[in-house]
Structure 1
Amino acid sequence: MSSTPANNDDDTPKDPLQEMLANLLGGQGMEGFDPAELAKAAGLPSDPNVLSQMFSQVQAMMSNSSDTPVNWDLARDAARKAAAGDDPSVTPAQQQAIDEALRLAEMWLDPLTELAPTAIIGRAWSRAEWVEETLGTWQRLTEPVANSIASAISKAMNEQLPEEMKSMMGDAASMMTNMGGALFGLQLGAAVGALAKEVLGSTDIGIPLADLQMALLPTNVKAFGEGLEVPEQEIRLFLALREAAHARLFVQVPWLRGHLLGAIESYARGIHIDMSRIEDLAHNLDPSNPEAMQAALSEGVFMPARTPAQDAALAKLETALALVEGWVDELSFEAAANLPAAAAIRETIRRRRATGGPAEHAFGSLVGLELRPRRLREAAALWASLKEQRGISGRDAIWAHPDLLPTSADLDDAAGFSARRSADDASESDVDAALAKLLDGGFEDFDPEDGAGPDDSSTPDDGAK
């Protein structure tokens, strides 16, 4: 008789290892084959149930429905699993409390900024909901690095395969690409899931992870307040002020989100991968110990030292993040004047943002990027100075265009920013006036050959004409 089909007449499934080898060998020569003996020789478990589970996991890793090397489906599953522990569903009472806090926050912010309210409905999210709402942005931010690492892993692993194994496996390059993408996707998902246990809202790391959303995570808000000896209602309202201020800024300044995300993407595209480390890891990779690869990824072993260009890009990104966080910090603290513990909560958040939590460090190691406003205090002082000098309208007018934003040098001297900007504006006005006069024909004696204007009495060199 012929070899047993995938399902016998008694519906008993074929051993997964035997089925895999049958596919590899075209179904030839499988009679009398003992998968347990081969599994034992390969150092794999011989228990059919364990093998079935193992190969199910491998099959999931090898399959990739996306058109990029990274398996984002696995990343989402890993993120949800990492966030699942102690993640109760949001109750109606929690939703109501968050909604009321955000509505009140909007009212307190109204007289303190020229930026209009957003009319966005406030949400209360579980950690799993935060993962679902923000994973698309994480994918956008990490894809340049993720694709580089996944491709590098697949190339290194493919080069380590013996030639006879490559001929058996056929399109090994495709399989190895999926494997590399799966490994990175799993680790990225775990990092995002860990972040879900630390974040307080949709903009907690300074960028809008969920487009046009305003939300807080009740479970994390409660955990944040433990040890502060401050009523939870007061903490929730202060955090609602920050969330609402972020939302106003990103909604009413439409170029800002793209500006920040674009800066992050530019930085990420410049990250290069240390191939020698990946090759060493692939050479010593133990298929039965995937934790080794994940540990290497989480420790950032593939990220070499930053180049000068990367340092410059990171400095610009950190300045932009500091300006956003400084504006929100100053505005929300002013709005919270009636909260007795506002100063203590503000200082706790400042330190939290400056140092970052364990999950944020893990994410930074994975993709080589830490989204941290290191100069938050200087930026807050700058916005306070601008309000004192120019008023609320003059301060908020800075957000009209990215070219108006203060620079890192301005953070060094907040008091002198207005004077420097006034001088720049005067210089630009002179240039604009001269250009307008030229276009109107006002400079009748202007000669484009020698550049001499009507008041230029200089004599050209003999050979100028």
Structure 2
Amino acid sequence: MADFVDWDLAASTAATLGPTGPKVTKAEAVEVVRQLRTLTDEAAEHVAEFTGLTSQVDVPPVRVVDRRDWAALNVAGMRQVIGPLTAQLARRSQTAGTGPLEMVGAKVTAVQAGTILAYLSGRVLGQYEVFSGEPGHLLLVAPNIVAVERKLGAEPRDFRLWVCLHEVTHRTQFTAVPWLRGHFLSEVKAFIDASDTDASALLGRVGRAVSAAADAVRNKGSQASVLDLVQSPAQRVVMDRLTALMTLVEGHAEVVMDGVGPRVIPSVEAIRARFDRRRATANPVESVIRRLLGVDAKLRQYAEGRKFVQSAIDRVGMAGFNRVWAAPANLPTLAELTDPDAWVARVAP
């Protein structure tokens, strides 16, 4: 059966269009990889002490990757996640005689996916990738870490440890909370199952997304996101739950960075200030791309999640906050993220 996306083409497109890395000597590259691996282990100790969370499974070693490898690994993950949806689309197109496979084309979709990954491959510092297998893999994108630390004028070891604190927190979340990965994947499956496989409805939403893209280019005030516009109504319900979950885990990682950082990173105050300024500023073209891909929404998750987590910890302490990891029912709703008192009253009175 044909696939809706030519995944090999998506990977090669991301590799071709991805930005080149900063100039480093071979010795410098080897040292960056060595230090990131060492700092990952150091960060793990700090995160466990601060959060009170410890891994319940064997943790695979960190994978220090370049931009091309990061894109390839994410294509592999997307293939596993989106595969069931593409299979539905393929079956529907065969039944109907004419469908999205013929009208859009696997190669066109692949180039679009590859272009998005190419852009993101130059931005992502690290990621806990959960789709490829249990319990997941911690990825650190060495060229991006070096590029950002140079742009910020940060002390390299300090900045690298700071990044490791954030990413190791994500690894801790998914390995210390046995049900979290399964719950996340089940929500992703629910999102896919809620997709509308009717060709005309899907293509209609794709058309609106293209129009939104054009509007975003013309109108700097547009907040449209392609992801928002290609969702079916049923998917938006699931996306609310996924958004709440991702806001929680991102905010938790930010609080850990801010809680541990001043104790172990001498220049953390300067790093945080410079990094936040970098997040908030972008050239006009990049601003459009960020809105279309939902990156700006991701940045808001950091701020909103950090505020929720810190507020909850201030009210009930770390042990009380950690009730959030006891069961899926204890996760905050989208509404509770802006009302920590409501979550405390419900889960940790």
TM-score w.r.t. the length of structure 2 is: 0.73
Q: CA deviation at 1:233?
A: 1.6
Q: Which amino acid aligns with 2:163?
A: L
Q: Which amino acid aligns with 2:48?
A: D
Q: Max radius of gyration: which structure?
A: 1
Q: Describe how 1:166-315 pairs up with structure 2 within 5 A.
A: 177=102, 180-203=105-128, 208=130, 211=133, 212-268=136-192, 269-270=194-195, 272-275=201-204, 309-315=234-240
2:67 is aligned to: 127
Q: CA deviation at 1:390?
A: 3.6
Relative distance call for 1:216 and 1:240 in structure 2 (3 A) is same
2:242 corresponds, among 317, 334, 343, to 317
Q: Which amino acid aligns with 1:256?
A: L
Q: Describe how 1:55-134 pairs up with structure 2 within 5 A.
A: 67-83=2-18, 85-86=20-21, 91-117=29-55, 119-134=59-74
For residues 315 and 349 of structure 1, the distance between their equivalents in structure 2, rounded to whole angstroms, comes to: 28
Q: Which amino acid aligns with 1:186?
A: V
**5+ residue gaps, structure 1:** 1-65, 160-172, 282-298, 424-465
2:323 corresponds, among 380, 390, 397, to 397
- Asked if 1:381 corresponds to 2:300, the answer is no
Relative distance call for 1:136 and 1:305 in structure 2 (3 A) is closer
Q: CA deviation at 1:241?
A: 0.7
Q: CA deviation at 1:134?
A: 2.3
Q: CA deviation at 1:329?
A: 0.9
TM-score w.r.t. the length of structure 1 is: 0.57
For residues 257 and 332 of structure 2, the distance between their equivalents in structure 1, rounded to whole angstroms, comes to: 20
The CA deviation string for residues 14-54 of structure 1, in whole angstroms up to 9 with x for no partner, is: xxxxxxxxxxxxxxxxxxxxxxxxxxxxxxxxxxxxxxxxx
The answer on whether the counterparts of 1:325 and 1:373 sit within 8 Å (CA) in structure 2 is no
Q: CA deviation at 1:277?
A: 7.5
1:333 is aligned to: 258
> Greater relative contact order: 1 or 2 (C-alpha under 8 angstroms, separation 6 or more)?
2
For residues 359 and 140 of structure 1, the distance between their equivalents in structure 2, rounded to whole angstroms, comes to: 29
The answer on whether the counterparts of 1:95 and 1:123 sit within 8 Å (CA) in structure 2 is no
Secondary structure at the residue paired with 1:372? helix
Q: CA deviation at 1:223?
A: 1.6
Relative distance call for 1:72 and 1:404 in structure 2 (3 A) is same
Q: Describe how 1:365-380 pairs up with structure 2 within 5 A.
A: 365=292, 372=298, 374-380=300-306
For residues 334 and 302 of structure 1, the distance between their equivalents in structure 2, rounded to whole angstroms, comes to: 33
For residues 233 and 114 of structure 2, the distance between their equivalents in structure 1, rounded to whole angstroms, comes to: 30
Bigger helix share: 2
The answer on whether the counterparts of 1:318 and 1:373 sit within 8 Å (CA) in structure 2 is no
For residues 363 and 264 of structure 1, the distance between their equivalents in structure 2, rounded to whole angstroms, comes to: 22
Q: CA deviation at 1:319?
A: 1.2
For residues 241 and 36 of structure 2, the distance between their equivalents in structure 1, rounded to whole angstroms, comes to: 34
The answer on whether the counterparts of 1:69 and 1:178 sit within 8 Å (CA) in structure 2 is no
For residues 185 and 276 of structure 2, the distance between their equivalents in structure 1, rounded to whole angstroms, comes to: 22
CA RMSD of aligned residues (A): 4.3
Q: CA deviation at 1:373?
A: 6.0
Q: Describe how 1:420-431 pairs up with structure 2 within 5 A.
A: 420-421=346-347
The answer on whether the counterparts of 1:122 and 1:214 sit within 8 Å (CA) in structure 2 is yes
Secondary structure at the residue paired with 1:202? strand
Q: Which amino acid aligns with 1:72?
A: W
**5+ residue gaps, structure 2:** 211-223
For residues 313 and 195 of structure 2, the distance between their equivalents in structure 1, rounded to whole angstroms, comes to: 37
Q: Which amino acid aligns with 1:184?
A: T
The CA deviation string for residues 199-231 of structure 1, in whole angstroms up to 9 with x for no partner, is: 11123xxx6465422231221012222332321
